[in-house]
Amino acid sequence: MKPWEQQERRVAKLRGGRRQPGSGSGWLHQNDVKDDEYLWEMKGTAGRKRIIVDIVDWEKLRRNAITSGRKPAMHLQIGHRRLVVLDEGDERLQ
């Protein structure tokens, strides 16, 4: 199993959500995992030394989350560290 697939499966299981089939390859199932509250985008190093998250990635996730009635969340896996990024300015997070 590839590292990105392990990451998606782990987060889906932890959050009681489900993986989005074919995420990133089309318009139907965008982003990687969704649960009742959040729409998740996964980013990982998988042998690289860094992750690049740009504003385009975040804004796309944010738009998709709002459209689906969820909050945006990004899960970053950097080596063995696992981090979650949430939008502090999103009033729906409170």
pLDDT in tens, 13-61: 988 888 876 555 455 557 879 999 999 999 888 777 888 888 998 999 9
Instruction: Tokens 């385009």: give the residue.
Output: 56
Structurally, at CATH architecture level, domain 3-89 sits in: 3-Layer(aba) Sandwich (3.40)
pLDDT tens-digit readout, 60-94: 999 999 999 999 999 999 888 899 999 887 665 55
Write down the pTM of the prediction: 0.78
76 near 85, Cβ under 8 Å? yes
Distance in angstroms (rounded) separating the CA atoms of residues 72 and 23? 15
Count the neighbouring beta carbons within 10 Å of the beta carbon of residue 53: 13
